């Protein structure tokens, strides 16, 4: 097969967090070597990689060092500076490309791309000036949500506006940076779909995940989503079409709203592994992390079939406030799996790990992880 990067070669990863860690674990299982670039020494991915380059993501010299040592490079999160990736693309394949990341890391670019290609998105307007802010609020109306164009995640960088008089104060609160103003969508639920594509355009799609959030951070996710089959099919086809339009080589997670008026709307794009796909590590024939390795190395893609329905519950640093969680008590549930990310300091709101469970139904799997997480707070 032309363009295949075989086991024994080295994969470079920009970003040393939990996603990079699980990519590295999958790559090493398959016989690849791994080098990670991250600003923090002994980062979660660096703990399992073959080598770690400690440098800022803006350090082009360090990025070129990574490129020289690798057969392919990927990123564990979409906010690696596109300029850094562009600087090394003449040296090594970067998958997904800097173009894809540049679109995904800017909400104006992302939503404009989606709208121009006919994909359903919430009604939105770019806000780059006071004049555009006033025009946007008059055209979108209230309630609405003002979101920074770059840098926002886990609910950061966004303000809900209930009345037009609040618009200027909201923009000031966000630093008067470039933003998008979106209609406020009444949600029935939130779902996401992960698609994998290799260099030859072969693609596979995972079952739809159904997600719940607490304080804007993913709290639980079940797969497959508890939605009608026709809606699941539409969500998968929508994600597949977006991945094709972008020309993604690697993974793309498409986060979607299911509105109360039955609209299916694209919320955000993440060209990388995604929290809502963590179930696949334990419950799918091919995890999203192994699938990424296969895709960026141009290998045949693996089956996305689930052995059983599965659910995850995120573990945030808040769990440590009363001391070390009671791991043994949670693991008395034999179908529960524990994943900790190797982060040194638990902080409120920081993702420290997750629990996974499988069962005969999504509801049963969800109840198992919720019960396991409840047990973590019991006294040893």
CB proximity list for 61: less than 8 A, separation 6 or greater: none
Tell me the pLDDT band of 216, cut-offs 50, 70 and 90.
Answer: confident
Mean pLDDT of the chain: 95
Q: How far apart are CA 91 and CA 125, in angstroms?
A: 38
The CATH homologous superfamily for domain 187-375 is ATP-grasp fold, B domain (3.30.470.20)
Ranges 69-73, 147-151, 305-309, 310-314: which has the least confidence = 147-151
CATH of domain 10-94: 3.40.50.20
Per-residue model confidence as pLDDT tens digits over 158-189: 899 999 999 999 999 999 999 999 999 999 99
CB proximity list for 197: less than 8 A, separation 6 or greater: 203, 243, 244, 248, 249, 250, 252, 295
Per-residue model confidence as pLDDT tens digits over 341-360: 999 899 999 999 999 999 99
Task: Answer whether 326's CB lies under 8 Å from 338's CB.
Answer: no
What is the 3 state secondary structure string of 159-189?
Answer: EEECCHHHHHHHHHHCCCCCEEEEECCCEEE
The alpha helices in the chain, defined as continuous H runs, are: 18-29, 60-69, 82-88, 98-104, 107-116, 130-140, 167-173, 229-246, 280-283, 288-296, 327-330, 362-375
Per-residue model confidence as pLDDT tens digits over 107-146: 999 999 999 999 999 999 999 999 999 999 999 999 999 9
Pick 123-183's CATH classification: 3.30.1490.20, 3.30.910.20, 3.40.50.11900, 3.30.70.1560: 3.30.1490.20
- What single DSSP character describes residue 80? S
The alpha helices in 318-360, defined as continuous H runs, are: 327-330
Rounded to two decimals, the pTM is 0.95
Helix axes 288-296, 18-29, angle to 10 degrees: 70
Delimit the domains of the chain by residue range. Answer: 10-94, 123-183, 187-375
Do the bridges between strand 264-270 and strand 217-223 make them parallel or antiparallel, or are there none, so unpaired? unpaired
Tell me the pLDDT band of 215, cut-offs 50, 70 and 90.
Answer: confident
């Amino acid at each position: 097969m032309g363009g295949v990067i075989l086991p024994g070669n080295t994969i470079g990863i920009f970003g040393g967090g939990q996603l990079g860690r699980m990519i590295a674990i999958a790559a090493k299982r398959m016989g690849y070597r791994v080098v990670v670039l991250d600003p923090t020494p002994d980062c979660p991915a660096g703990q399992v990689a073959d080598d770690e380059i400690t440098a800022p993501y803006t350090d082009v010299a360090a990025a070129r060092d990574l490129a020289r040592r690798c057969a392919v490079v990927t990123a564990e999160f979409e906010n690696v500076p596109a300029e850094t990736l562009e600087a090394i693309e003449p040296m090594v394949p970067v998958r997904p490309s800097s173009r894809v990341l540049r679109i995904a890391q800017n909400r104006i670019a992302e939503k404009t791309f989606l709208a121009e290609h006919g994909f359903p998105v919430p009604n939105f307007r770019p806000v780059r000036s006071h004049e555009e802010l006033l025009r946007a609020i008059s055209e979108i109306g209230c309630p609405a949500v003002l979101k920074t164009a770059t840098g926002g995640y886990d609910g950061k960088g966004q303000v809900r506006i209930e009345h037009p008089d609040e618009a200027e104060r909201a923009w000031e609160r966000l630093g008067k940076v470039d933003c998008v103003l979106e209609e406020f969508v009444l949600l029935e639920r939130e779902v996401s779909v992960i698609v994998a594509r290799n260099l030859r355009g072969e693609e596979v799609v995972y079952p739809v995940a159904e997600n719940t959030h607490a304080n804007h951070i993913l709290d639980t996710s079940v797969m497959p989503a508890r939605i009608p089959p026709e809606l699941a099919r539409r969500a998968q086809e929508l994600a597949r079409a977006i991945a094709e339009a972008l020309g993604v080589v690697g993974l793309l997670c498409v986060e979607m709203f299911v509105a109360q008026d039955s609209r299916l709307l694209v919320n955000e794009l993440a060209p990388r592994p995604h929290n809502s796909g963590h179930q696949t590590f334990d419950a799918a024939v091919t995890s999203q992390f192994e699938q990424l390795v296969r895709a960026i190395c141009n290998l045949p893609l693996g089956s996305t079939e689930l052995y059983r329905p599965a659910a995850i519950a995120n573990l945030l640093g808040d769990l440590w406030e009363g001391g070390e969680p009671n791991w043994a008590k949670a693991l008395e549930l034999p179908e529960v799996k524990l994943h900790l990310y190797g982060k040194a300091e638990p902080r409120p709101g920081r993702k420290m790990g997750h629990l996974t469970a499988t069962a005969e139904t999504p509801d049963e799997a969800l109840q198992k992880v919720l019960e396991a997480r409840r047990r973590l707070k019991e006294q040893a």
